């Protein structure tokens, strides 16, 4: 695992095997999800892999009623920004939610890795 480069491809490969892999800057300690080759906070290039557990809290959300073409037929669907335990925030579909009134910022969520036609995706479910 330590051998893998910090690329979008590595992130996807891990996700395909059900693991959410971030990387951590050895210099300043900041955590990046998805992983990247250069720490955006301090510019450091000494980084290490770090596995993220899937629990987090919802920071912001929307329920999309006018979807892009590739998600046609799925609307309305919820998507949001989740702050994960361990530090990083990430965007993900919030499964099984159809109305904005049914979710709140601060809600606890759990990650689910979903395989779809256009690739493997990080999604969340309300806990």
Partner 1 sequence: MGLFRNVAIVGAGMTRFHNRIHVGKTGRDLFVEAVLEAADSVDKGFELREAEAIFIGNYSSDCFEGQSHTAALISDWLGLTPRPSIRVEDACASSGVAINMAALAVASGAYDLVIVGGFEKMTGRETEEATEILAMAADALYEVPVGFTFPGLYAAIATAHFKRYGSSWEELAAITIKNHRNGALNEKAHFQSDIMDTARRLGERHNMTFKDELEFLRSPLNPFVAYPLRLFDCCPISDGASALIVASSDIAKRYTDTPIYIKGFGQASDTFSLHDREELTELKATRIAASQAYKMAEVSPEDIDVADVHDCFTIAEVLAVEDLGFFPKGQGGKAALEGRTSLDGERPINPDGGLKAKGHPVGATGAAMAYEMFKQLRGEAGRRQVDDAEIGLAQNVGASGATVVVQVYGR
Using the minimum distance from each CB to Zn ion, give the nearer residue, 18 or 43: 43
**Nearest distance from C-beta of residue 13 to partner 1, angstroms:** 14
By the rule CB under 8 A, 89 interacts with partner 1:
yes
d(CA 72, CA 112): 21
**Span interacting with partner 1, options 14-22, 45-53, 63-71, rule CB under 8 A:** 63-71
| Among 80, 107, 109, 111, contact with partner 1 (rule: CB under 8 A) | 80
Residue 120 sits at the vertex; the CA angle it makes with 118 and 124, to the nearest 5 degrees, is: 120
- Residue 91's SS3 state is strand
The torsion angles phi and psi of 11, rounded to 5 degrees, stand at -60, -45
By the rule CB under 8 A, 34 interacts with partner 1:
yes
- The DSSP H or E segment spanning 64 is strand 55-64
What tokens were used for 98?
């159809």
Using the minimum distance from each CB to partner 1, give the nearer residue, 27 or 59: 59
Q: Cβ contacts of residue 7 below 8 Å, gap of 6+?
A: 35, 37
**Nearest distance from C-beta of residue 63 to Zn ion, angstroms:** 35
Residue 80 carries which DSSP code? E
Binding site for Zn ion (CB under 5 A): 25, 27-28, 39, 41-42, 44
Binding site for partner 1 (CB under 8 A): 8, 34, 40, 59-72, 74, 76-82, 89-93, 99-100, 105-106, 118-119, 121-123
């Amino acid at each position: 695992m330590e051998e893998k480069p910090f690329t979008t491809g590595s992130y996807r490969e891990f996700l395909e095997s059900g693991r959410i892999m971030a990387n951590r800057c050895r210099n300043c300690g900041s955590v990046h999800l998805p992983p990247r080759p250069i720490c955006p906070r301090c510019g450091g290039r000494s980084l290490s892999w770090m596995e993220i557990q899937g629990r987090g809290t919802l920071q912001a959300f929307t329920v999309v009623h006018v979807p892009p073409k590739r998600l046609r037929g799925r609307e309305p669907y919820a998507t949001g920004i989740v702050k994960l335990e361990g530090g990083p925030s990430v965007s993900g579909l919030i499964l099984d939610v159809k109305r904005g009134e049914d979710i709140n910022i601060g809600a606890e969520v759990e990650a689910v890795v979903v395989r779809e036609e256009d690739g493997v995706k990080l999604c969340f479910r309300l806990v």
